[in-house]
Structure 1
Amino acid sequence: MSSSSPVSAVSATAPHVVDDCLGIWKDVVYDATHTLRLRMYRPTDGNTTTANNKLSVLVYFHDGGFCLCSFELPHFHTGALRLAAELSALVLSADYRLAPEHRLPAMHCDAEAVLSWLRA
């Protein structure tokens, strides 16, 4: 995760960068208005990059029917770490606003915001 990335802020609740045995991860804010974060996972294996030193990107939205859970739950975290390691990809696990506090299409707007953040 280079310092030239479009990261606007790092979560105060999580370490800046954590090196697990499968990968390196950190939390970033992608929508400051709604305080929405995503967790970026990168494999630690030195043989994961292509000839251009670029990784594929996988954007992952946790399940929960738009009502439950968070990307921070251990099974989603472990799954994203494994995806990054086994696919040799940068995995972005995004949080989004949940119902019933937020009605549709808030979750879809949050997903669109993640992709716009990534594109920027």
Structure 2
Amino acid sequence: MITSPYEKYKQSSVQTSTPAQLLIMLYDGAIRFIRGAVEAINAEDIQKKNELIGKAQAIVSELRATLNHSYEISAQLDKLYEYINYLLIEANIRKDAAKATEAVDYLVDLRESWIQASKVVISGQEQVNSNG
């Protein structure tokens, strides 16, 4: 049972979001977890590093699992997500903040691309709605 106002807000936010907004939320979560893992690596907090990288890997796995393979770009995204997961494994095993930072860089770029794409879609929908 959700009791805190913040949890209620989060649940409502997820339930009322568009697919593009949900995707951006996933990117935000993965980026936040990996940045936290970098801090944990630098602080030599192994347990926190493991936990945060595990959460980021779960998100990347979800991103891979939900790809629609009827589009050509999905194969390219799948390979990129696979590489990001590899970077996270390496960062975790080797306690390598640079590998984690590289993974964040890819996710930030993907996030920005999806934000731009969603703006184009919204703009197109507004034009269709205003014309007819």
TM-score of the aligned structures, taking structure 1 as reference length: 0.26
TM-score of the aligned structures, taking structure 2 as reference length: 0.25
The structure with the larger Rg is 2
- Larger strand fraction of residues: 1
